[in-house]
Structure 1
Amino acid sequence: MTKLKPLSQQVVVVTGASSGIGLATARKAAKAGAKVLLVARGEPALKAAVEDIIASGGRAAYAVADVGELSELEQAAHLALERFGGIDTWVSNAGVAIYADVLTTPRDEHERLFRTNYWGAVNSAQVAIPHLRARRGAFIMVGSVASDMGSPVMGTYAASKHAVKGYVDSLRIELNRDKVPVIVTLVKPSGIGTPLNAHVANHKHGEAKVPPPVYAPELVADAILHAARHPMREVTVGGAGLAQVLFATHFPGLFAHLAGAITPLLNDPKTPATPGDNLFSAMSGGEVHGAEGPGLRFSLYTAAGCIPSRPRRPWPQAPL
């Protein structure tokens, strides 16, 4: 079975690293001793994050790149090789969201969302896998529980996450077939207390809200870094999200009738919407948590899911 290195011996690349889950992951990876390359579109937030990590005794660098552009991710990977000598774990985390009904979502915004959420995942895999193969590393995709169910208001986001899950599942099959020694893990967060609600392209009245219940970004970062050390196929962060998925899977008709009832929970009409969004360009970044706070800091289900188990069969390996 492919054995992953301790974080202290790894080079970790994190996309979407200027805020939220990505920033929390980069900080925790560096604190654990990893050399970390932070990747995002906004240079000021990236520069500040790297300076903070270095000031705390960590090792980090940054690359300004749009994950929707393959050539920019290739340049980021080259920087990781130049600065740190290789790549052991690639965390594909960058994502954007739109709050709008699917039939009224502007087409250019819909296409841009897929450019980041889906094509960003594809580009990450195409750039990362050759480097990870050379070092028998891990490719970690941050998806969502929305990949397993529909959603009112966030339908385009859910659609992109369905596409990401299908791509990752197929990628894993082909790597196994070809005996490529790269672990592929899909991390599926529930609602997370990131600045997402202030960054979305919001077409609803009032400030957007993260779907409840809300968990802390650090929980997702812990799951990601666990997967960087222990081979895992998939992990859901937040038992509440899993419960929603199970309900949607086993009672799809009832779910379709009832799910619309959460629409009022997705925006606050009493609070003016944050101006601007990060759909086409970066916002300020630099925050791990949203304005409402981090959310729940523990999930018993996720903790149980991150306990390493003895493999039943060896992971296929290929000669270097």
Structure 2
Amino acid sequence: MILITGASSGIGLVTARLAAARGAGVILVSRNEAALAEIVRGIEADGGAACFAVADVGDRAALSEAAAKGVARFGRIDTWVNNAGVAIYATLAATPGDEHQRLFRTNYFGVVNGSHVALEHFGAAGGNLITVASIAADMSTPIMGAYAASKHAVRAFVESLRIELKAAASPVSVSLIKPSGIATPIGLHAANHLDGAAMIPPPPYDPKLVAEAILRCAERPRREITVGGAGRAQVLFAEHFPALFERLAPLVIPFLQNRAIPKREGSNLFEPGPDGEERSPHEVGLKASPYTQVAMRPRLTAALLSTAAIAGACAIWRWRPRAAIALRGRD
């Protein structure tokens, strides 16, 4: 059984439907009961097995109750996916303190709470703990600074937890998924202090790519996977050319808002949003990422590179005698 938080929209919803379609029992967790009930009805109508539990990830007791409901239905939890997240579009100076704290309650402490509850249920049998962070965990960004700070904290928590579990010889695998900009409704649900609709940092990718990476880690655990080659390139640029990155990063600001589209009032920071949507209505995500395909299959990639290297060496070896004869013929 796979438990997914933030499962009533975006990446969580796409992952839940994909997992159910592939035969997994799924428990969907979010704050929106009406949306969850409708989604589960749809999954069951398509022949899948699913149930839901209403919980705020910032509330550890509520998450424990959600997990217990999943165990009562499916017997045990094999994979736990920390996916719930919220966003704020504003400069840090203009970010209200209560919103900043609430964002961390969901994005960071939601992961902390989920991880603790997951470990309690995994027990000696082990399991897969998968956390969805962002490329913002590896680099900073203007306008979404609070979001980036929370994802930096998530990465540090996950990496430290992995070290501790390995030291304890735990059978739990710990995976970190770092999506690039993904064409989900997160901009619609965000606390938006900009003029016009909040947009996804370009170039956006389709959320199914993230869902595939999550399920890949559930089947064959990986330490981490970055979804989207463009995002990985941005991170590498920020790491190796920090001063230049700081000068160029503000150029993305105009792409984070669209004044031609009225912004949706309200947000899902403190209350459930209008969930049930997988994708953004304003952006079309890229359907493929060769980089991510390679990242998800490191052994196959290594084998192909080794084969190519051997083939190249053989070709050079066969060529050398002919080249030597040709050179002697010129003397």
Same fold judged by TM-score > 0.5?
yes
Q: Is the contact made by 2:204 and 2:283 (CA closer than 8 Å) also made in structure 1?
A: no
1:101 to 91, 101, 113: 91
Cα distance in 1, alignment partners of residues 179 and 188 from structure 2: 18
The aligned counterpart of 2:42 is 52
Counterpart of 2:150 (choices 154, 157, 160) is 160
Tell me whether 1:31 sits opposite 2:21 in the alignment.
yes
Runs of 4+ in 1 over 6 A off after TM superposition: none
Could you say which residue in structure 2 is the equivalent of 1:305? 295
Summarize deviations over 1:49-89 as a string: whole Å, max 9, x none.
10000000000000000000000000001101111111000
Q: 2:131 matched to which residue of 1? A: 141
1: CA distance, partners of 2:284 / 2:263: 19
TM superposition shift of 1:136: 2.3
Q: 2:101 aligns to what?
A: 111
Partner of 1:197: 187
1:12-91 counterparts in 2 under 5 A?
12-91=2-81
After superposition, what is the alpha-carbon deviation per residue over 1:144-174, rounded to whole angstroms, capped at 9, x for unaligned? 0000111010000000000000000000000
Aligned to 2:219, which of 208, 229, 240?
229
Indicate the SS of the match to 1:188: strand
Q: Which residue of 1 aligns with 2:178?
A: 188
- Structure 1's unaligned 5+ residue stretches are 1-10, 311-320
Gaps of 5+ in 2: 301-331
Report how far residue 284 of structure 1 moved.
Answer: 1.7
In structure 1, what residue type is equivalent to 2:279? H
For the residues of structure 1 that align with 2:291 and 2:143, how far apart are their CA atoms? 27
Cα pair 1:99 1:204 within 8 Å, conserved:
yes
- The structure showing larger relative contact order (alpha-carbon pairs under 8 Å, at least 6 residues apart) is 1
Could you say what secondary structure the match of 2:166 adopts?
A: helix
Give the CA deviation at 1:292: 2.1
Question: In 2, Cα distance between the equivalents of 1:31 and 1:307?
Answer: 22
Corresponding residue for residue 217 of structure 1:
207
Quick check: 1:274 aligned with 2:264?
A: yes
* Aligned counterpart, 2:309: none
Change (3 A) 1:39 1:294: farther
Counterpart secondary structure, 1:138: strand
Shifted more, 292-301 versus 42-51: the winner is 292-301
Counterpart CA distance in 2 for 1:156 and 1:101 is 9
Instruction: State the Cα distance separating 1:293 from its structure 2 match.
Output: 4.2
Residue identity over aligned pairs, in percent, reads 55
1:41/1:65 contact within 8 Å kept: yes
Output the CA distance in 1 between the equivalents of 2:242 and 2:12: 32
Matched, 1:238 2:218: no
SS at match of 1:192: coil
* Contact 1:206–1:270 (8 Å) recurs in 2: yes
1:207–1:273 contact (8 Å) kept in structure 2: yes
Residue 272 of structure 1: CA displacement? 1.2
Tell me how large the CA RMSD over aligned residues is: 1.0
Match of 1:289 among 275, 279, 301: 279
Conservation of the 8 A alpha-carbon contact between 1:132 and 1:139: no
Match of 1:313 in 2: none
Normalised by the length of structure 1, the TM-score is 0.92
Structure-2 separation of matches of 1:72 and 1:297 = 36
1:293–1:259 CA distance, 2 compared to 1 (3 A)? closer
Instruction: Tell me the TM-score normalized by structure 2.
Output: 0.89
Deviations 1:16-66 (A, max 9, x none): 000000000000100110000000000111001100000000000000000
Cα displacement (A) at 1:220: 0.2
The separation in 2 between residues aligned to 1:16 and 1:57, in whole angstroms, is: 22
Find the aligned partners of 1:259 and 1:293 in 2 and give their Cα distance: 21
Measure, in 2, the Cα distance between the counterparts of 1:113 and 1:157.
Answer: 7
Any idea what SS the aligned residue of 1:162 has? helix
Cα gap change, 1:61 to 1:308, in 2 (>3 Å): farther
CA distance in 2, matches of 1:176, 1:262: 39
Number of equivalenced pairs: 300
- In the TM superposition, what is the alpha-carbon distance from 1:131 to its structure 2 partner? 1.7
Q: Aligned partners of 1:153 and 1:53: how far apart in 2?
A: 37
- Quick one: which amino acid aligns to residue 203 of structure 1? H
Distance in 2 of aligned mates of 1:28 and 1:119: 27
When residues 20 and 202 of structure 1 are mapped into structure 2, their CA distance, relative to the original with a 3 A threshold, is same
C-alpha displacement of 1:117 = 0.1
Name the structure with the higher helix share.
Answer: 2
Name the CA shift for 1:134/1:33 in 2 (closer, same or farther; >3 Å): farther
